[in-house]
Structures are given as C-alpha cells and as structure tokens.
C-alpha cells in the first residue's frame, strides 16, 4: 500500500541507532571541555529550580494523586515535596513540574526543552542507584546529545506536523542517559534506544493544558523504563530509529542523518542550551529586558509619563493583550511584561501571579506603555524609550535579550532565578544549600545528599 503524500522511504540511512548506542556506552566520562561541563552544571541547576518551583502547582498535585493510586515504593524524591515514589513515577512527576511554568531550558536550534525528559529520568534513577554526581553529569550530557541530535535530524518538519518535540525526542535522551547510568553495554544501549523509539510523547494541540508539561514527564518515564527493560534482556529492532518504518521516517519527512554523526563526541548539543530569565514566551523577553535596564539606569515608575515601545509585529500578534485579567493572561501581555520589568526588575513566575497582574501600581504603569509595530526591528530585539515627566527621554535598545545564545544568563543571574523559584517552596537556606551542592555536583560521591535537600 502506498505511503500517500509522505516522502518515499529512505533505505540508505546510516545505522544511527548503533552509532548513538556506541557513543553513549563508550564515550569517556567527562570527555568534553570545561565549558561543556560547566553548561551541564547550569542545565541541571536550572532544571532543578524549575521542578522545585512548581512542586505545589495543581498539575503536580493531580499527577501525584494519580501515581499514588499505584501505592508506589519510596524509591525517589518528588522534588520540592515530602512524598517519595518509585523511580519511574518520580521521573514522571519531576518531568511535569520542571516544565509547568514554561521556565525551563531551551535548545534553540530545535526548541527542545532537553533537561525535562533527560534530567528527570537520570536523577530519579541515580537516586535509587546511589550514583555519583559525576555519573549524573555524564548521563545528562550524553542523553541531551542524543535527544537534540535526533531533534536536529527532524526539525522543523517533525515539529511542524504537530509533534511537541520535547517529548517526542526526550524519550530517547532519557533512555540514553539511564542506559549510561546503568552502565549498559553498546548492544543493550541500542535496545534501550529501540524500545524508547516506539514511545514518543507529545502533541502541540495540548499547549495550554497540563498535558503539555506531561510530555517531558511521560518521556522521562518511558526512557527510564526502556533502559530498565534493556538491562533485563528485552529486545527491540537495532534499526528502530533509522529504518523505513523506524521512528525518524515515521515521524518526519526531514531526515538529515548527518546531524547524528557530524562532530559526534566533539561538539555537544548541551553547549547550545539556554535558560529563560523571564517566566513567559520568549518573544516578550527583549521588551522586559529593556525595561529592567531602564530601572537599572535609575528610572522609577513615578517619573514616567509614557513608555514608548517599538517591536516587530510578531510581538503584538502573540502578546498584544492590553488589559490582562489574571496571571496566565499576563504571560501574553507585552504591556504587563514592561510594567513588571520596570517596577520589580524581574519577571519570574511570581510576577505572573493574579495578584501582581491586578496590582494597581502595575496596572497604572501598564496603561502608560504604548507599543508601535516596526518590522525593521528584528523579532528578537526591542527599542524602548521612557518619556519622563521632567521631559527627559531615556532610551534602551536590546538587540539580543538576556537569556539568548548571544547574551546568556550569567551564573549569578541563574542563581537569582533559582532563588526566586526555590525559596518560596523550600526556604532561602535550603535554596543556598542546594546551590552549593549543585556547584560541586561533579565531586558528590552520592546524589542522595542532594535529593535529600530537595525535600521540605
């Protein structure tokens, strides 16, 4: 029977399942530069903050209630909560919370949020095994490399079709990371990837519902179980990724196989990971960044007559809500973003609470923001001018917002973000203790010291 409108089957694909399995099983521990290893620390730390920060969200409550119907054994920590559950369920719930605020990391080449599936699976398994911090970091780097390279093979076609690529490549990254942690050999690792290949998780239609953050959680769970199955001799096709009826060809018309092999073991995709400074869609980030800079230059809300904002048309198309009524609507209002940037100097999850969105001071300043479309300004840029009551004009031009590849968050900024997420849940002392533990993660003999800190 014909394949209809799909592109023809490619029978000449290289054996990428085996190639990736050999790489994951055989690459040396810390076989990369200091910069890559530092990025792995940052990726892990940012993911941990996001997961702890959303620990009390209603999505976490609902997921945990469902998991508890299985009467799970207390093998692994639900980050930010007192409950412990079996490691597969911990991978699921931590994967959900890490993506609940849409505040996690982004591999901009594919818009994959790689830590959600990979770190959630790896840490849950590592806690059960008593793995070292070094082993966790190795698994994280290699797992993210697998997920993002497969993403590179298929993006954008795979995403355009409607797959939520984070969960539909994440099961492979999670399987790879867990296979590494379990010290599976090349053959077993290929089986783990193969079993995972049959379990993509994620449709873009789910955006705006709890099933969106379910995707990285479900992928984490599927990948972890795939590695456990492979460790017990369960079999899969050794060509599960590349065969004509394997995952890549079934799920994408773009099949850039070379993305798997190009500089494999030399270039690491985790190097291209970025961290959001603001808890909202990336298109508002330059405007918020500019308003934070105005504040840093001494501009205060009471001095302001108007804020003149010039942005690309896409910004208003996606986030042009003038009078947001609650926190969620606030995330789609560039006006609100500018107001909290100038008043609070930040736009973390707290600034998108119902209370802040309805705060009279915020509402008053929001009404002073006037936006103009100017398509000569790039999508990732913004020009903001504060017109003050005394007649002065203070102008800030942002070409690449903070948090972009060109202007990454500093470690100090990442720590501030972490504190804003973790302190409300676990307190400031624990936030500081976890920060210290994450800095020295590579030296930790057993990650259970860290996961213990992750509980109230």
Complete DSSP assignment for 217-271: HHHHHHHHHHHHHHHTT----TTTTTSTTSHHHHH-S---THHHHTTBTTB-GGG
H or E element that contains 454 = none
Instruction: Classify residue 331 as exposed, middle or buried by CB count within 10 Å of its CB (0-12, 13-18, 19+).
Output: buried
Is the Cβ of residue 86 or residue 415 nearer to a second copy in the bound state? 86
Shortest distance, position 64 Cβ to a second copy, whole Å: 8
Q: How far apart are CA 247 and CA 70, in angstroms?
A: 30
Nearest to 88 by CA among 206, 231, 226: 226
Helices (H) and strands (E) in the chain, counts: 21, 8
Question: Between residue 58 and residue 87, which ones bind a second copy under the rule CB under 8 A?
Answer: 58-59, 61-63, 65-66, 69-73, 75, 86-87
Is the Cβ of residue 225 or residue 398 nearer to a second copy in the bound state? 225
Question: Between residue 395 and residue 424, which ones bind a second copy under the rule CB under 8 A?
Answer: none
Is the Cβ of residue 28 or residue 69 nearer to a second copy in the bound state? 69
Shortest distance, position 125 Cβ to a second copy, whole Å: 9
Q: Does 298 bind a second copy (CB under 8 A)?
A: no
Stretch of residues binding a second copy (CB under 8 A), selected from 244-252, 354-362, 379-387, 448-456: 244-252
Is the Cβ of residue 252 or residue 271 nearer to a second copy in the bound state? 252
Stretch of residues binding a second copy (CB under 8 A), selected from 33-41, 160-168, 371-379, 402-410: 160-168
Shortest distance, position 163 Cβ to a second copy, whole Å: 6
Stretch of residues binding a second copy (CB under 8 A), selected from 99-107, 138-146, 207-215, 369-377: 207-215
Q: How far, in whole angstroms, is CA 191 from its chain's centroid?
A: 26
**In the set 38, 245, 393, 439, which binds a second copy (CB under 8 A)?**
245
**In the set 6, 300, 372, 410, which binds a second copy (CB under 8 A)?**
6
Nearest to 42 by CA among 417, 420, 304: 417
Q: Does 153 bind a second copy (CB under 8 A)?
A: no
Shortest distance, position 175 Cβ to a second copy, whole Å: 12
Contacts with 104 (C-beta within 8 Å, 6 or more apart), sequence order: 46, 47, 50, 98, 113, 115, 116, 276
Decide: 95 and 216 in contact? Cβ < 8 Å. Answer: yes
Nearest to 96 by CA among 57, 126, 146, 135: 57
Q: Does 374 bind a second copy (CB under 8 A)?
A: no
Verify cis geometry, omega within 30 degrees of 0, for the bond prior to 59: no
Shortest distance, position 281 Cβ to a second copy, whole Å: 17
**In the set 117, 151, 167, 330, which binds a second copy (CB under 8 A)?**
167
Is the Cβ of residue 202 or residue 337 nearer to a second copy in the bound state? 202
Is the Cβ of residue 182 or residue 431 nearer to a second copy in the bound state? 182
Stretch of residues binding a second copy (CB under 8 A), selected from 250-258, 296-304, 370-378, 413-421: 250-258
Q: Does 199 bind a second copy (CB under 8 A)?
A: yes
Is the Cβ of residue 72 or residue 116 nearer to a second copy in the bound state? 72
Would you state the structure tokens that stand for residue 7, as one six-digit string? 């592109």
**In the set 208, 298, 360, 391, which binds a second copy (CB under 8 A)?**
208
Stretch of residues binding a second copy (CB under 8 A), selected from 215-223, 313-321, 389-397, 448-456: 215-223
Question: Between residue 83 and residue 112, which ones bind a second copy under the rule CB under 8 A?
Answer: 86-88
Is the Cβ of residue 163 or residue 268 nearer to a second copy in the bound state? 163
Instruction: Classify residue 340 as exposed, middle or buried by CB count within 10 Å of its CB (0-12, 13-18, 19+).
Output: buried
Q: Does 296 bind a second copy (CB under 8 A)?
A: no
Residue with tokens 């398509």: 375
Residue 90: how many other CB atoms lie within 10 Å:
32
Would you state the structure tokens that stand for residue 286, as one six-digit string? 């330059």
Decide: 13 and 255 in contact? Cβ < 8 Å. Answer: yes
Q: Does 253 bind a second copy (CB under 8 A)?
A: yes
Q: Does 250 bind a second copy (CB under 8 A)?
A: yes
Question: Between residue 219 and residue 238, which ones bind a second copy under the rule CB under 8 A?
Answer: 222, 225, 228-229, 231-237
Is the Cβ of residue 4 or residue 376 nearer to a second copy in the bound state? 4
Q: How far, in whole angstroms, is CA 285 from its chain's centroid?
A: 16
**In the set 53, 117, 151, 218, which binds a second copy (CB under 8 A)?**
218
Question: Between residue 21 and residue 50, which ones bind a second copy under the rule CB under 8 A?
Answer: none
Residue with tokens 């469902």: 66
Q: Does 291 bind a second copy (CB under 8 A)?
A: no
Complete DSSP assignment for 379-444: TT-EEEEEEETTS-EEEEEESS-TTSSSSPPPHHHHHHHHHHHHHHHH-HHHHHHHHHHHHTGGG-
Q: Does 56 bind a second copy (CB under 8 A)?
A: no
């Amino acid at each position: 029977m014909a394949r209809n409108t799909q592109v023809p089957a490619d029978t000449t694909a290289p054996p990428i399942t085996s190639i990736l399995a050999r790489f994951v099983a055989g690459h040396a521990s810390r076989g990369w530069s200091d910069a890559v290893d530092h990025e792995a620390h940052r990726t892990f730390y940012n993911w941990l903050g996001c997961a702890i920060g959303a620990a009390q969200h209603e999505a976490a409550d609902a997921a945990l209630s469902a998991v508890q119907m299985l009467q799970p054994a207390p093998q692994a920590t639900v980050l930010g909560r007192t409950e412990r559950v079996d490691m597969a369920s911990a991978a699921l719930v931590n994967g959900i919370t890490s993506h609940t605020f849409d505040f996690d990391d982004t591999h901009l080449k594919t818009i994959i949020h790689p830590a959600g599936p990979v770190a959630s699976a790896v840490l849950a398994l590592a806690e059960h095994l008593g793995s070292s911090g070094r082993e966790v970091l190795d698994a994280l780097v290699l797992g993210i490399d697998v997920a993002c390279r497969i993403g590179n093979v298929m993006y954008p076609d795979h995403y355009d079709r409607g797959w939520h690529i984070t969960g539909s490549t994440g099961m492979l990254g999670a399987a790879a990371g867990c296979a590494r942690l379990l010290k599976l050999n090349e053959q077993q690792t290929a089986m783990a990837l193969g079993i995972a290949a049959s379990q993509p998780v994620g449709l873009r239609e789910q955006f705006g519902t709890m099933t969106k953050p379910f995707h990285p959680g479900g992928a984490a769970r599927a990948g972890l179980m795939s590695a456990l199955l492979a460790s017990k001799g369960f079999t899969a096709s050794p060509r599960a990724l590349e065969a004509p009826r394997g995952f890549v060809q079934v799920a994408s018309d773009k099949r850039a196989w070379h993305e798997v092999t190009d500089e494999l073991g030399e270039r690491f995709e985790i190097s291209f990971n970025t961290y959001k400074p603001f808890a909202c869609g990336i298109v508002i980030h330059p405007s918020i960044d500019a308003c934070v800079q105005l504040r840093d230059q001494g501009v205060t809300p009471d001095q302001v007559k108007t804020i003149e904002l010039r942005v690309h048309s896409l910004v208003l198309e996606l986030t042009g809500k003038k009078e947001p009524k609650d926190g969620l609507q606030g995330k789609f209002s560039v006006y609100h973003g500018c107001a909290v940037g100038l008043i609070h100097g930040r736009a973390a999850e707290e600034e998108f609470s119902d209370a802040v969105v309805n705060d009279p001071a915020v509402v008053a300043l929001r009404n002073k923001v006037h936006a103009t479309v100017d398509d000569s300004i790039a999508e990732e840029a913004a020009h903001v001018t504060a017109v003050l009551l005394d007649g002065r004009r203070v102008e800030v031009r942002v070409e690449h917002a903070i948090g972009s590849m060109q202007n990454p968050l500093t470690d100090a900024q990442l720590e501030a973000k972490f504190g804003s997420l973790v302190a409300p849940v676990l307190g400031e002392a624990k936030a500081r203790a976890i920060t210290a533990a994450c800095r020295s993660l590579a030296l930790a003999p057993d990650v259970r010291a860290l996961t213990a800190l992750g509980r109230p």
